[in-house]
């Protein structure tokens, strides 16, 4: 076989292999080449590629679907808006509902935050109620001093109640309590009652049936013209001072203080003054001083406000709000 024949033979053999034909028997290399070729063509029978012809049938579907997309979007947006509106409405109504919340309610913190004025009023209302209840209980059990103390607290708290309904209701209740238990409440009636002797003689005569003064019923009482509960409180503050003054025989006495309102602790009052004076004098000196110093600044300027509308005989338990020494 010439060299040319060998070249031609190889050429035709490669052509056959290239067409994917089997290799002739006996030639190991050509057999390997044929196997290699078959290996490379692995999986060739599978659908190779999609036809490159443009697809026309699917187009209507696409045209149908396209307008749907924005509509779905719009619906979702509306859902979101509705949800937001619902949340907003819930929040607003919650805050609005918080306006009438009371301590212990779920919305009470909201009330304190948003309606702080109303919250303070509600708290004062509750405090007033509590004080009134205690006063009633104390009065019913005969602890008159305690009852008077609670009543004073109630008056003080009542001044902070802004709700007119509640204030009216509570004031009526307090008034009723004063009327019911005349021994607790002694009318000051400063204009009508005689002044106590300012000297060393203590007002030893108990007047259990002293005129009961309901501040609202006494138009002539100058202390009422200020109209404030605080005015009442202030006036009452002075009472122990007055009383102390008479006990301790301090000459410095406010001019219109009165000592005739001893309706209550009759037993105490009837006790020898000397005995009582010794412990009480030390204790009550502070209020006395208080009463002395106070008029210096205030009394001459506004004598009207100084008149105590009520006189409460509470020697040991004078309204304690200003008595830090207790």
Partner 1 sequence: MFGEDALTELASRAAAGDSQATADLLTQLRPMIVRYCRARLGRVGGGFVTADDVAQEVCLAVLAALPRYRDMGRPFAAFVFGIAGHKVTDAHRAATRALQVAPVESVPERPDTDVGPEGRALAADLSRQLTALLDRLSPAHREIILLRVAVGLTAEETGVALGMKPGAVRVAQHRALARLRAFAEEEVTA
Which residues make up the interface to partner 1 (CB under 8 A)?
A: 6-8, 10-11, 13-15, 17-20, 28-29, 31-33, 35-37, 39-44, 48-49, 51-54
In the complex, minimum distance from the CB of residue 37 to partner 1, in angstroms, rounded to a whole number: 5
In the complex, minimum distance from the CB of residue 58 to partner 1, in angstroms, rounded to a whole number: 16
Written as one string, the DSSP assignment of 251-266 is S---TT-------S-H
C-beta separation of 323 from 288 below 8 A: no
Quote the CA–CA distance of 172 and 160 in Å, as a whole number. Answer: 16
In the complex, minimum distance from the CB of residue 83 to partner 1, in angstroms, rounded to a whole number: 47
Which of the 8 DSSP states describes residue 105?
Answer: S
Nearest to partner 1 of 18, 91 (CB atom): 18
In the complex, minimum distance from the CB of residue 5 to partner 1, in angstroms, rounded to a whole number: 11
Report the SS3 class of residue 193. Answer: coil
Closest CA to 33 of 44, 45, 23, 48: 23
Nearest to partner 1 of 29, 69 (CB atom): 29
Neighbours of 294 (CB within 10 A): 18
Structural tokens at position 318: 């004078």
Nearest to partner 1 of 44, 275 (CB atom): 44
Residues 6+ apart with CB under 8 A from 285: 244, 248
In the complex, minimum distance from the CB of residue 40 to partner 1, in angstroms, rounded to a whole number: 4
C-beta separation of 158 from 174 below 8 A: yes
């Amino acid at each position: 076989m010439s060299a040319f024949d060998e070249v031609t033979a190889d050429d035709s053999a490669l052509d056959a292999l290239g067409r994917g034909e089997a290799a002739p028997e006996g030639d190991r290399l050509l057999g390997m080449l044929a196997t290699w070729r078959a290996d490379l063509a692995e999986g060739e029978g599978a659908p190779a590629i999609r036809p490159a012809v443009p697809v026309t049938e699917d187009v209507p579907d696409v045209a149908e679907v396209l307008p749907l997309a924005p509509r779905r979007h719009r619906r979702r947006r509306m859902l979101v808006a509705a949800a937001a509106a619902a949340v907003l409405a819930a929040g607003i109504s919650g805050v609005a509902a918080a306006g009438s919340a009371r301590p212990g309610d779920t919305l009470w913190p909201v009330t304190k935050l948003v309606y702080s004025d109303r919250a303070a009023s509600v708290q004062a209302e509750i405090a007033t109620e509590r004080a009134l209840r205690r006063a009633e209980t104390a009065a019913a059990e005969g602890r008159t001093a305690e009852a008077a103390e609670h009543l004073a607290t109630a008056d003080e708290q009542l001044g902070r109640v802004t709700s007119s309904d509640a204030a009216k209701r509570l004031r009526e209740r307090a008034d009723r309590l004063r009327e019911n238990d005349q021994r607790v409440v002694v009318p000051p009636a400063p204009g009508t009652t005689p002044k106590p002797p300012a000297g060393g003689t203590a007002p030893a005569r108990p007047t259990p049936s002293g005129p009961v003064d309901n501040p609202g019923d006494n138009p002539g009482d100058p202390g009422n013209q200020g109209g404030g509960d605080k005015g009442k409180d202030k006036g009452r503050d002075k009472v122990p001072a007055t009383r102390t003054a008479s006990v301790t025989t301090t000459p410095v006495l406010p001019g219109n203080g009165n000592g005739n309102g001893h309706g209550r602790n009759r037993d105490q009052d009837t006790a020898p003054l000397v005995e009582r004076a010794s412990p009480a004098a030390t204790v009550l000196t502070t209020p006395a001083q208080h009463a002395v110093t106070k008029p210096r600044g205030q009394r001459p300027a506004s004598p009207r406000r100084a008149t105590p509308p009520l006189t409460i005989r509470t020697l040991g338990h004078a309204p304690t709000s200003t008595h830090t020494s207790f």
